[in-house]
Amino acid sequence: MSHQQEPPYGEQPYGQPAPPGTGYTTPDYVPPSPYAGWWSRVGAYLIDGLIGAVIALIPAVVGGVLLAAGGGTDAEGDVENGGLVALGIVLLVLAWLLALLFQLWNQGIRQGSRGQSIGKGVLGIRVIEMATGQPLGAGRGVLRWILLVVLYGLCFLDVLWPLWDKKKQTWHDMIVGSVVVRA
C-alpha cells in the first residue's frame, strides 16, 4: 500500500484592498508669533495717519491761507483775487493727494513688500501671508489697503472684527489671506 501524499495547500488569496486614504491636506498655518492685538493695530494706523497728516500739513495750511486771503469779494460780489483762490485750491488738492499717495506707499507697497508699515514697525507688529508666513508682496499689499479703505467706508465693522475673531483678522485680512502678528 503506497502512501500517497496529500497535495500542498494552495496560496492564500489576497486580502481586502486597503481603504482609500484621506488624501493630502496642508496643515493649518501656525504663525511664528502670537497674533497682534487690536490696540496695537489701532496704534499703528494712528501713527501712519499722523505721518500722512504731517506730510499734507504744509500745503494744506498754505492753501487755506491763500483761500482766505484771496476769497474776499468787492462791492459787486466778484472775487477780489481769483489767482490766490485758485492757487489755494490747487494746494489743498495737492495736500490731499500727498496724504493719499503716502498711505498707498506706506500701507500698500511698503507693508506688502516688507510686512510692516511705518506705524506697524514702531509698534513691533507685521502683516504676513497666512499660508506661508511671508510678506504679501506689493500687489496684494495694495489690494489689502484698497479693501481696507472700501470696507471701512462701507461698514466700520471691518476694523472691529479682530476684537472677536480667533485669528484677530479683519475682513480685508480674510479676503487676501493675511494675518497680523507680533514681529
Ordered mean pLDDT values, 10 residues apiece, the chain (183 residues): 70 75 66 88 97 95 88 68 86 95 97 97 96 94 95 89 94 95 92
- The H or E element spanning position 89 is helix 82-103
List of residues 6+ apart from 148 with CB closer than 8 A: 107, 158, 159, 170, 172
Dihedral sign computed on CA atoms, order 34, 35, 40, 44: positive
Q: Would residue 174 count as lying in a domain?
A: yes
**pLDDT for the residue numbered 19:** 77
**pLDDT for the residue numbered 25:** 67
Q: Would residue 91 count as lying in a domain?
A: yes
**pLDDT for the residue numbered 79:** 63
Give the number of other CB atoms < 10 A from CB of residue 130: 18
List of residues 6+ apart from 17 with CB closer than 8 A: none
Q: Per the structure, how many domains does the chain have?
A: 1
Give this prediction's pTM: 0.75
Q: Would residue 33 count as lying in a domain?
A: no
**pLDDT for the residue numbered 77:** 67
Domain that holds residue 63: 38-182
Are the beta carbons of 84 and 63 closer than 8 angstroms? no
**pLDDT for the residue numbered 144:** 96
Reduce the DSSP state of residue 21 to 3 states and report it: coil
Q: Would residue 119 count as lying in a domain?
A: yes
Q: Would residue 24 count as lying in a domain?
A: no
Q: Would residue 17 count as lying in a domain?
A: no
- Round to whole Å and give the CA distance between 160 and 158: 6
Q: Would residue 21 count as lying in a domain?
A: no
Q: Would residue 154 count as lying in a domain?
A: yes
